[in-house]
A and B are shown apart, each in its own frame.
Chain A
Amino acid sequence: MAVPPRHATMQSISNGNTAQGNDRPPTQQSQQQSQQSPGLRVPSNRKTIYDRHLNRTRNAELSRASFAFLFGEMVTYAQRRVTGIQDLEKRLNEQGYPLGLRLLDLLFYRSTSTSSSALSSSSTSSSPPNRPLRIITLLHLIHGPLWRLLFGRAADALEHSVSAETANEYMITDNDPMVNTYISAPRDMNMLNCAAYVAGIIEGVCDGCGFETKVSAHNQPTELWPSRTVFLVRFGDPVMEREKVLERAGIK
Chain B
Amino acid sequence: MAATSKATIPSSSTIHGSISTLNNPKLLEMSYYFTILSPTDTPLFNIAFGTSKGGGDGIARFRFPETAQYMNQFIIHSSLDILEEAQWTNGGMYLKHIDTYPPAAAYITAFLTPSGARFLLLHQPPNLPSSTSTTSGLGSSSLLGTAGSTTRASSSSIAANPTSPQTEEAVRQFMNEVYENYVKTAMNPFYKQGMEIKSPVFRARVNAAGKKWL
In Å, the complex CA distance between A107 and B179 comes to 12
Contact in complex: B184, A52 (CB < 8 Å): yes
CB-CB under 8 A from A98, the residues of chain B are 192-193
Asked if B182 and A105 sit within 8 Å, CB to CB, the answer is: yes
Question: Is B116 in contact with A210, judged by CB distance below 8 angstroms?
Answer: yes
- Closest chain A residue to B191, Cβ basis: A102
Kindly identify which residue among B88, B92, B116 contacts A242, using a CB–CB cutoff of 8 Å.
B88
Q: Are B91 and A50 in contact (CB under 8 A)?
A: no
State whether B115 touches A251 (Cβ < 8 A).
no
A102 to B187, CA, bound (A): 6
Is A11 at the interface (CB under 8 A from chain B)?
no
Query: Do A133 and B176 touch (CB < 8 A)?
Result: no
CB-based nearest A residue for B93: A131
A109 beta carbon closer than 8 Å to chain B: yes
- Asked if B186 is an interface residue, CB under 8 A from chain A, the answer is yes
Whether A251 and B201, one on each chain, are in contact in the complex, defined by CB atoms closer than 8 angstroms, is: no
Report if A108-B113 is in contact (Cβ < 8 Å); known contacts: A49-B184, A50-B181, A50-B184: yes
| Number of chain B residues whose Cβ lies closer than 8 Å to a Cβ of chain A | 30
The interface residues of chain B lying within 8 Å CB-to-CB of A136 are: none
B180 on the A face (CB < 8 A):
yes
Chain B residues contacting A101 (CB-CB under 8 Å) are: 115, 186, 193
CB <8 Å contact, B93 and A106: no
When the two chains form their complex, are residues B89 and A109 in contact, meaning their CB atoms are under 8 A apart? no
- List chain B residues, Cβ under 8 A from A39: 200
With beta carbons under 8 angstroms apart, the residue of B92, B181, B201 that contacts A130 is B92
> Which residues of chain B are within 8 angstroms of A108 by Cβ–Cβ distance?
93, 113-114
Please pick, from B115, B182, B199, the residue contacting A104 in the complex, using a CB distance under 8 A.
Answer: B115
Contact B89 A107 (CB under 8 A): no
Residue B183 CB within 8 A of the other chain: yes
Residues 155-180 of B contacting A (Cβ, < 8 Å): 176, 179-180
Query: 8 Å CB contacts to B: which residues of A96-145?
Result: 98, 101-102, 104-109, 112-113, 130-133
B205 interface residue per 8 A CB criterion? yes
Kindly provide the distance from the CB of A194 to the nearest chain B CB, expressed in whole angstroms.
21
A48-B201, A246-B88 known; 12 new pairs, CB 8 Å cut-off, are A49-B187, A50-B181, A52-B184, A98-B192, A98-B193, A101-B186, A102-B115, A106-B187, A108-B114, A113-B180, A251-B88, A251-B91
Q: List 21 A-B contacts (CB under 8 A).
A: A40-B200, A49-B187, A52-B184, A54-B180, A54-B184, A98-B192, A101-B115, A101-B193, A102-B115, A102-B186, A102-B187, A102-B193, A105-B114, A105-B115, A105-B182, A113-B180, A130-B92, A131-B93, A131-B112, A210-B116, A251-B88
Binding site for A on B (CB under 8 A): 39, 87-89, 91-93, 112-116, 176, 179-188, 192-193, 199-202, 205
Interface residues in chain A, defined as those with a beta carbon under 8 Å from any beta carbon in chain B: 39-40, 48-50, 52, 54, 98, 101-102, 104-109, 112-113, 130-133, 208-210, 242, 246, 249, 251
Closest 8 CB pairs of A and B: A130-B91, A208-B115, A108-B114, A109-B183, A104-B115, A105-B183, A104-B114, A50-B201
